[in-house]
Structure formats: C-alpha cells, structure tokens
C-alpha cells in the first residue's frame, strides 16, 4: 500500500488568519494520525506564512507515524532539520516569493550543492528526498546526488488528467520505472486529489508515499476529515 502523508500547511494558514491558536495544529496532527494517516508533512517557509518554525518543534513529540519536513535548504532550514531530526526531509527549490512549489530541482545543475546537503542529513540519520519534475535525465541526476528518494512533482499530471488526458501519467510511470532500477524510492505530491489519486497510484509502479494537503483539506470541508482520510486510504490500497 502507498502511504498517505497529510500536509497540514493549510491548517496553519487558517490558524494564522485570526492570530490565535484555532484550529490547533498539534491537535489536528494527532487527529489525522488517529484517523489512519501514515505521516505528517509540513513545509515551513522563511516568511512563516503558514507553518511557523516553532510549529516544527511543537509537532516533533506528537508525530508518531512519519514526520516529513519539506523546504528549501537555506541555512536556517538545514539547522532546524538537523536539530529536530524528522523521519524524512524533502528538499524543494522554492524561491521566497512563490505562492506554492512550482518546479523540481535541476539535479544536474545543482548536483554538488544537493550532494553536500544530503550527506549532512544522512549522516544524522534523516532519510532524504528531492522534489523533481518527471524528466528522465533529472531522475538520473537525482541518483548522482546520493538521495534516498525522489518526490515526483505532479501538478502537470493533475492538470491534464482533469482535462481527460490519461496519457499525462506516462512520464511519471517512466520515471518511476527508472528510479526503481536505480534504487531510488518514489514519493509524489502536488495537486493530487480524491479524483485522481487512484489512477495515479495504479499507473505509477513502486509508489511508496504521497503527500497531500490542499485538496485533502478542501475536500474535508464538505466531507469531514475522518471520512476523507479513509477515502484516500481506500484508494491507495
């Protein structure tokens, strides 16, 4: 079964909108784990627009499944990850001014930088993953960085699948086959939803984990968080 890691950035956004502690991020993380989610994902950004750096520390003792911290490996981020020691760190090449993640790493251009960061994390017992576009040469480049896993950036798939193009999954299938042959674990995330997750999972071999936030939280407004978690788990079996 592909694991479901719930990205809780949107809960932090809702909390921050009123300046208080409602909804409570820690309690929400506890609840989604109790409902069956197999991981918690957060993506702190330097401007703390949703997840605050303090949240990273507050969540650490209560995440009993898998703790995945995403982000651009600026020094502040690296120092925090080394201190918290999550299960997994996912490196994302976010510029500070982007609204959301919008591209994977150029693993060839940034090979040496990524190698240095990944070595430090792995020496501290933290599994590493890097965010990549579904391009074969970028998968080969990822292997050369020493990463444990890749996370396939799935926005393009989601957009084209919504338009009825089922062949949009093929680059992801091809990259997954190559990644597996190279000994890389395969994660995926961005714009995956109840509408497309089963098709994606069934067509991308060896998919270990998906990270879903925006769609899952939005769907939960209508259907309820416990119900939605179980709907995802059913589709990922």
The pLDDT value recorded for residue 99 is 46
The pLDDT value recorded for residue 94 is 76
Catalytic residue list: 43, 70, 190
Predicted structure pTM score: 0.94
Q: At 145, phi and psi to the nearest 5?
A: -80, -20
The pLDDT value recorded for residue 41 is 98
CA distance 72 to 131: 10
R_g of the chain computed on alpha carbons: 17
Q: At 157, phi and psi to the nearest 5?
A: -60, -50
CA distance 89 to 73: 10
**What is the token pair recorded at 199?**
């098709």
The pLDDT value recorded for residue 40 is 98
| Domains observed in the chain | 3-236 (3.20.20.70)
For tokens 């079996």, the residue is 237
Provide the CA 133 distance to its chain's centre, in angstroms: 13
C-alpha dist (Å) from residue 209 to 66, 83, 119, 212: 11, 24, 22, 10
Strand 67-71 with 207-212, pairing: unpaired
DSSP notation for 160-175: HHHTT-GGGGHHHHHH
Beta carbons within 10 angstroms of residue 150's beta carbon = 31
Q: pLDDT digit of tens for each residue in the chain (237 aa)?
A: 999 999 999 999 999 999 999 999 999 999 999 999 999 999 999 889 999 999 999 999 999 999 999 999 999 999 999 999 999 999 999 765 544 556 899 999 999 999 999 999 999 999 999 999 999 999 999 999 999 999 999 999 999 999 999 999 999 999 999 999 999 999 999 999 999 999 999 999 999 999 999 999 999 999 999 999 999 999 999
Strand 127-132 with 185-189, pairing: unpaired
The pLDDT value recorded for residue 97 is 53
CB 4 within 8 A of CB 38: yes
The pLDDT value recorded for residue 196 is 98
The pLDDT value recorded for residue 160 is 98
CB 148 within 8 A of CB 129: yes
């Amino acid at each position: 079964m592909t694991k479901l890691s719930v990205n809780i950035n949107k809960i932090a956004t809702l909390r921050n909108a009123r300046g208080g502690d409602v909804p409570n991020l820690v309690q929400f993380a506890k609840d989604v784990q109790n409902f069956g989610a197999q991981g918690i994902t957060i993506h702190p950004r330097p401007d703390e627009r949703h997840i605050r750096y303090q949240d990273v520390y507050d969540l650490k003792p209560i995440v009993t499944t898998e703790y995945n911290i995403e982000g651009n490996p600026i020094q502040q981020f690296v120092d925090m990850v080394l201190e918290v020691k999550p299960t997994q760190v996912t490196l994302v090449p976010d510029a500070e001014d982007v609204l959301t993640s919008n591209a994977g790493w150029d693993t060839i251009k940034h090979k040496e930088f990524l190698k240095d960061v990944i070595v430090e994390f792995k020496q501290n017992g933290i599994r590493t993953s890097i965010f990549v576009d579904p391009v074969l040469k970028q998968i080969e480049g990822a292997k050369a960085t020493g990463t444990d896993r890749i996370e396939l950036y799935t926005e393009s798939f989601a957009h084209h699948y919504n338009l009825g193009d089922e062949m949009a999954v093929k680059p992801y299938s091809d990259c997954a086959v190559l990644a597996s042959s190279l000994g890389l674990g395969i994660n995926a995330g961005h714009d995956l939803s109840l509408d497309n997750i089963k098709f994606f999972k069934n067509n991308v071999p060896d998919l270990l984990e998906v990270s879903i936030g925006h769609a899952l939280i939005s769907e939960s407004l209508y259907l309820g968080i416990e119900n939605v978690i179980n709907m995802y788990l059913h589709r990922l079996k």
